[in-house]
Amino acid sequence: MSDPALGIVMLGSFILVVLFGFPVAFTLMAMGIGFGYVSLGDRVFDLLVQRTYSVMANDVLISVPLFIFMGYIIERANILDRLFRALQLASRALPGALAIATLVTCAMFATATGIVGAVVTLMGLLAYPAMLRAGYDTRLASGITCAGGCLGILIPPSIMFILYGATAGVSVARLYAAAFLPGLLLAGLYIAYVFLLALVRPSLAPRLPATVAAGSVGEVVIALLTSFVPLAVLIAAVLGAILFGLATPSEAAAMGSLGSILLAAAYRGLTWERLKESVFLTARTSAMVCWLFVGAYVFTSVFGWLGGHHVVETFIVEDLDLSSVGFLLLSQLIIFLLGWPLEWSEIVLIFVPIFLPLLDNFAIDPIFFGVLVGLNLQTSFMTPPVAMAAYYLKGVAPPSVRIQEIFSGCMPFVAIVLLCMVVMYTFPEIALWLPRTLYATPPLPAGEDPMAIPEGGFRVLDDLLPHLPPLD
């Protein structure tokens, strides 16, 4: 068997083994070492050591545990219930007030954490029962909770963009700037959908009873000042420091972690037990991410050495003869389908690098491509059979709620994500305008494709086997 064929067998074997439920990180390492040993011999172990060290020495990845710690502190400081109550009071006059308050709370909390499981679980305990008690349709309430919880993948400071930036070799700050407006657009489309649905079919999202919605204007203002404003200031400080170049993502994440501790202390929600639990969960999650990165580096390096990337490139560039738009549609369709059996981290670290070397061929900006991937990955948490957001919600939902109802409720929001992607394809400046404005990128010549990369722009700099002895 030729090396390229061995690479394709390696990729297919990985997908098959993961579907059987084996741990992804160690499956990647086992596949990389096993198939690499066939082609490279003992030198594959040098590759494993080198890739492990490169992950530990990656400055960008330092921000991952810091942002995760910030999210866990906020999660355990009882800030969400205050925020949800304040937003509920502020939106009480609107149709679908509970749904709107839920989505805004999810967007705020997702911005502060970026941890989908934490947002869906907490909102499943806080907002989901409130919507059911208010007479909301079970499927609609389920879809709102799951879709809102998934916004953390897209809205900065997203962990996904940190991993994508480290993988693609692009600026995390530019990725955050590019994702900001699309994230607001998607959240706005969610809110517009539930608002119109509540107007057209009020039985699905009844208005709040007068006793529940009671409260003076002064009470609303005080509630917002003591819940919404402090969290918004913390988020704005962290994102602003990154976007305006005042701090690196790691420095801003450290600042956000300190701010979350101070905020939790101000709300009297910081205890020694909660602090220990947050540190433990941060260490566990960060270890999982880092080992996944090591496994993905080894796997993709061996896959590239075997010629798997060349097979994929030849098939897409020469055999299919696609245009830039055709390549974008095909790649996003593949990522969408991969979202059914796989989680976003596996897609970003294993399959997205297969497409990255092809961006030059189709003159596509890797930042624009990354935002499209972030939008697309919203669906990976909401489409069965994996649909992790649905399973998170099922774990805290009343026993009477069936998983099929949660799946059904997610489908309209999956359609909204796809609509948002179509808007992004049509108006790419939604993603590219802000980073070009903030970082003073020269304007494009008249008639040039806005999705095209600048001359001398992105290249895949990852040499697959640096510093290893030459082949015999």
CA atoms within 13 A on the CB side of 444: 15
User: What pLDDT, in 10s, does the model give residues 411-467?
Assistant: 999 999 999 999 998 899 999 999 988 886 554 454 555 444 444 333 333 343 344
Smallest CA-to-CA distance from 187 within 422, 408, 417 is with 417
Residue 472 lies in a domain: no
Contact by Cβ (8 Å): 373, 354: no
Residue 202 lies in a domain: yes
Q: Which two tokens stand for residue 93?
A: 């006059």
Residue 449 lies in a domain: no
pLDDT at 96 over 90: no
Is there a cis peptide before residue 95, judged by omega within 30 degrees of 0? no
- The reported pLDDT for the residue numbered 130 is 85
Q: What is the mean pLDDT of the chain?
A: 81
By residue range, what is the domain housing residue 282? 3-438
Residue 453 lies in a domain: no
pLDDT band at 471 (very low <50, low <70, confident <90, very high): very low
Handedness of CA 218, 221, 227, 233 (dihedral sign): negative
pTM above 0.75, yes or no: yes
Residue 307 lies in a domain: yes
For the chain, how long is the longest CA-to-CA vector? 81
Smallest CA-to-CA distance from 223 within 106, 94, 333, 84 is with 84
CA distance 468 to 464: 10
Tell me the CA distances in angstroms from 110 to 61, 159, 409, 416, one per residue in order. Answer: 19, 11, 20, 18
CA distance 183 to 177: 10
Residue 236 lies in a domain: yes
Residue 150 lies in a domain: yes
DSSP letter, residue 157: S
Contact by Cβ (8 Å): 285, 68: yes
* Number of folded domains that form the chain: 1
Handedness of CA 369, 155, 428, 146 (dihedral sign): positive
pLDDT at 22 over 70: yes
Residue 462 lies in a domain: no
